[in-house]
Amino acid sequence: MTNRYTKILELLTKHQRVKVRVLAELLDVSQVTIRKDLDQLEEKGLIRRIHGYASLNAADDVGNQMAFNYAIKKRIAKAAAATVDDGEVVMIESGSCCAFLAEELASSGKDVTIVTNSAFIAGFIRHTRHAKIILLGGYYQPDSQVLVGPMTSKCGEIFFSNKFFIGVDGFMSEFGFTGKDHMRVQTVMDLAERTRQVIVLADAEKFRRKGALGLVKLDRVAGVYTDERIPEEAESALLDNNVMLYKVPEYEAESA
């Protein structure tokens, strides 16, 4: 099922909009099966359905971002989720890899408390029966569905966690990770003061971009979860600064 989801999202990423009938033909399944898959993907906020077509959401929508490199981001999230212990309190910031991490934790059966400033994440895992979700208040940014600003920082002051998982917009070897929204950047910096470890989740494409604003310096990052396509220069910068680096494979190994 996950493999078919991946193929559907890859097709939509390439073409933006595809007829349901064409998807069924390309994936060699019935239109009934494809419609069920599309219903699930739409429920998760990853796609939308319009008059016999399936398409991605608007470019700035979190669901749209989650559709790109879907399988890789799922593997990154799964690897990061394995580090969270039963009974732990973790902070999770906005971003597509972070949303998949929250989903992994919510479905793991562990007794985990998730503190987040992402309204999208809170909605994405709203059906969970295991993880407890605490949504921080603040100024709501509708495109990213994230809460930011002084109120968010103030709400976060009462929480302490061992791990703070964050998404990023870019990377600079001489500095560290970057962002593009000043309110989100400041909020992440404030929340990072209440945790022992800052852990970055980002597919390798983010290491090929540079953001306008400094988000977190390398000496403040405990670990990075990415994939094996990470540029050598970026990998060297992380290792030279004693950052724990975990690389998931670009392609999942086929079962024997």
Q: Report the DSSP pairing between strands 53-56 and 17-19.
A: antiparallel
Place of tokens 């910096």: 189
Segments making up each domain of the chain, as ranges: 2-56, 67-248
| pLDDT number for residue 255 | 46
Query: Was domain 67-248 assigned CATH 3.10.20.740?
Result: no
CB 196 within 8 A of CB 122: no
pLDDT reported for residue 64: 66
- Contacts of residue 227, defined as CB under 8 A and 6 or more positions apart, other chains included, come to 69, 72, 75, 76, 203, 204, 247, 248, 249, 250
End-to-end CA separation in angstroms for the chain: 18
Sort residue 47 into left (φ over 0), alpha (ψ -120 to 50) or beta: beta
**Token pair in block for residue 149:** 């600003």
For residue 181 the two structure tokens come to 């929204």
pLDDT averaged per 10 residues, the chain (length 256): 75 79 85 85 79 72 72 94 94 93 91 94 84 93 91 93 95 94 94 94 94 92 97 96 95 60
pLDDT value, residue 151: 96
CA dihedral 18, 21, 26, 28 (to 10 degrees): 150
Contact 65, 45 (CB under 8 A): no
pLDDT at 231: 96
- CATH architecture under which domain 2-56 falls: Orthogonal Bundle (1.10)
C-alpha span between 192 and 173 (Å, rounded): 20
Q: Give the pLDDT score at 256.
A: 42
**pTM metric for this prediction:** 0.82
- Residue 58: its pLDDT value, please? 62
